[in-house]
Amino acid sequence: MNKETTKSCPHCGAVVKNNTCTKSRIVAALLTLFLGGLEIHKFYLNRNLQGILHLVFCWTYIPSFIAFIEFIVYLCTSDEKFAEKYSS
């Protein structure tokens, strides 16, 4: 996605691709930071199977560790790359 064709949603400010709003990188990062142990960000990003799998193992704290790493990855990823990967 190049910068000339990148548009933003008038309602939420998210990157628009193919006339649909994509998920926000900042919202995903905040969900990961504050609710990462419950993997709520996986459901937000439409990764339901991963979310359920991580919920099953949330008592082991392994999903919390994974969520912390994902938080850093979300912050380091550009908006364009994030939109390409997690577009609806």
Please give the pLDDT value at position 13. Answer: 64
Rg (CA), the chain: 14
Please give the pLDDT value at position 87. Answer: 79
Please give the pLDDT value at position 23. Answer: 87
Residues 57, 2: Cα–Cα separation, whole Å: 39
The residue ranges of the chain whose pLDDT is under 50 are 1
pTM value? 0.74
Please give the pLDDT value at position 41. Answer: 95
